[in-house]
Amino acid sequence: MTSPESITFTFDVAGLGSRFAAITTDTLVQVALLLTILILAMGSVYVDLSVYLPSRARAMGISLWVWAALVILTFLITWGYFVFFEMTWNGQTPGKRIFGLRVIRAGGYPVDLLASAVRNLIRYVDYLPGNYSVGVLTMLLSRQWQRLGDHAAGTLVVRDRRLEAPTALVAEAAPAWQASLAQIERVTAEEYQVVREFLRRRGELERNSREDLGRRIADPLAEKLDAQLGAGPEVREVFLEALAAAYRERFG
């Protein structure tokens, strides 16, 4: 896949098996949350308005307002659970994190709030008529294993490949730029996000594209911080790793 910046990425798209394992894990977590809320609700005070409740709710002694809250919380947990974690964990839910999966937008960009909201709202359609029948059928017909929600939101679920830090470092280069990180406040939040995304996605880049992009990101930042990097793509990646760590330590 080629990004608008003409950088070629390769993605290991998650298949049916790993996605089923992840959604099963997430469903178990949701069930645990719902059962906890239900147990707490059953201990609520019963009021006269309960005559208007569904018979099942009356039998459990749940008040009208608690029943309304249960309906809202059920929706928030079944839908908001995925949106919340995909936004706070950069495209991962607990199930996806356990099985090494991540949601991204087409082109390799991080999933945003709109895409996450759309893909998870249409999850209800994917579930029809039960047990994700529509979603499974759509995935089997898709070259990139996209369910209906993924097609609508323009998202993919990929394997989150991790790349080990470079081992061939130039030891004498470190002191030349290490002190420059004391000026980390010169780096803007937007520049930090660019560095962060490069470090996260570098394992998906072809070698030449990775080295070229690393140089294009690192060199302007090195100049901004008055850092002397020396030669070699490994040094630039280590510089970017150190810069990201320094930024997180300074700004959280």
Together in a domain, 192 and 100: no
| Total tally of structural domains belonging to the chain | 2
Q: What is the pLDDT of residue 37?
A: 75
Overall average pLDDT of the 113-135 stretch: 90
Identify the residue whose tokens are 């749940």: 62
Together in a domain, 22 and 42: yes
Overall average pLDDT of the 245-250 stretch: 85
- Whole-angstrom Cα distance, residue 210 to residue 192? 18
Q: How far is CA 50 from CA 8, 54, 61, 226, in A?
A: 61, 8, 8, 71
Together in a domain, 199 and 151: no
Together in a domain, 53 and 100: yes
* pTM of structure: 0.59
Overall average pLDDT of the 134-162 stretch: 89
Overall average pLDDT of the 116-137 stretch: 89
236 confidence band (pLDDT: 50, 70, 90) = confident
Identify the residue whose tokens are 């307002």: 65
**Which of these three, 159, 180, 206, is where a domain ends?**
159
Please say whether the dihedral angle defined by the alpha carbons of residues 221, 208, 7 and 118, taken in this order, is positive or negative.
negative
Together in a domain, 150 and 236: no
In a domain, 210, yes or no: yes
In a domain, 229, yes or no: yes
Together in a domain, 182 and 155: no
Domain span at 204: 171-251
